[in-house]
């Protein structure tokens, strides 16, 4: 059973607007979350992370929000740029499971110029 | 060359073939990983190595055999694969085997088993 879910396989956003990518998880023991970005023919690259002791982490145009009670996290990209078009993966891990990261299936973001 | 590299980038093999995937990291990391990504499925962790010792094997069939001769290189030896093994195989590395250590991925090998 999938422990990390990204229910939207794709998302299209106009350049300059906000992109919101969502991720839900089922394991309440998860305490560390990451977002990866993947361009075609390349491996995933780390984008931003958040620990469960925080509910928000910001890095430039990228902000990740964590709602522990809802077991939900989201990635906001503001303003969206055409170069942000990629597949975004959410991943989660728990301290008591060592270094096992559980990944979502990804959301393909297209930013329209 | 920097980062994590993987060769070959594409591989087509028959079910009776034996082939190997190679991963090399130039980051000075101590932990390396093999992941499998099948179509429309999440990344699945296959193997974890720390300081050249295998520390995790996620119930992977024996037709996949990993090898880590040193902390910079990781191989995945393949033999008598099945068509359902066709997938993108990603290698990753991290500084150490810590819960919150960021993993750096290679570009992957796209494997097709006929």
Closest B-chain CA to A51: B100
pLDDT for B83 equals 93
pLDDT for B2 equals 61
The secondary structure of residue A78, as a DSSP letter, is S
Question: Whole-angstrom distance between the N-terminal and C-terminal Cα of chain B?
Answer: 33
Hey, are the CB atoms on A32 and B104 less than 8 Å from each other? no
Tell me the pLDDT tens digit for each residue of A9-59.
Answer: 999 999 999 999 999 999 999 999 999 999 988 889 999 999 999 999 999
User: Does the pLDDT of residue A97 top 80, yes or no?
Assistant: no
Q: Which residues pair with B24 in a beta bridge?
A: B5, B73
Query: Measured between beta carbons, which residues in chain A are less than 8 angstroms from residue B31?
Result: 99
Closest approach of chain B CAs to the CA of A29, in angstroms? 13
- CA gap B66, B74 in Å, rounded: 7
Interface test with A, best of B4, B8, B43 (most A CBs within 10 A): B43
Q: Of A53-57, B40-44, B93-97, B102-106, give the range with the top mean pLDDT.
A: A53-57
DSSP 3-state assignment of A96?
helix
User: Does the pLDDT of residue B85 top 70, yes or no?
Assistant: yes
Nearest to B45 among A34, A42, A100 (CB): A100
CA distances, A89 to each of A92, B16, B45, B60 (Å): 10, 34, 14, 23
Closest approach of chain B CAs to the CA of A98, in angstroms? 5
User: Does the pLDDT of residue A111 top 70, yes or no?
Assistant: yes
Nearest to A42 among B48, B98, B107 (CB): B107
pLDDT for B61 equals 92
pLDDT for A41 equals 81
Report residue B31's pLDDT band, with 50, 70 and 90 as the boundaries.
very high
Closest A-chain CA to B5: A43
Nearest to B99 among A4, A89, A99 (CB): A99
């Amino acid at each position: 059973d999938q422990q990390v879910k990204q229910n939207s396989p794709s998302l299209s956003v106009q350049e300059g607007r906000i992109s919101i990518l969502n991720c839900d998880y089922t394991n309440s023991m998860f305490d560390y979350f990451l977002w990866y970005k993947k361009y075609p023919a390349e491996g995933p690259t780390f984008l931003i992370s958040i620990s469960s002791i925080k509910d928000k982490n910001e890095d430039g145009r990228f902000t990740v929000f964590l709602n522990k009670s809802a077991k939900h996290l989201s990635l906001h990209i503001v303003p969206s740029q055409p170069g942000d078009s990629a597949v975004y993966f959410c991943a989660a891990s728990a301290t008591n499971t060592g270094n096992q990261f559980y990944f979502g299936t990804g959301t393909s973001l297209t930013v329209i110029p | 060359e920097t980062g994590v590299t993987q060769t070959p980038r594409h591989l087509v093999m028959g079910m009776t073939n034996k082939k190997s995937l190679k991963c090399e990291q130039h980051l000075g990391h101590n932990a390396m990983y093999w992941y499998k990504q099948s179509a429309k499925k999440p990344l699945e962790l296959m193997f974890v190595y720390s300081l050249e010792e295998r520390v995790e094997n996620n119930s992977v069939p024996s037709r996949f055999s990993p090898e880590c001769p040193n902390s910079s290189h990781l191989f995945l030896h393949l033999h008598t694969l099945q068509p359902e093994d066709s997938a993108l195989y990603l290698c990753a590395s991290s500084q150490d085997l810590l819960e919150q250590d960021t993993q750096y991925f290679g570009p992957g090998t796209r494997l097709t088993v006929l």
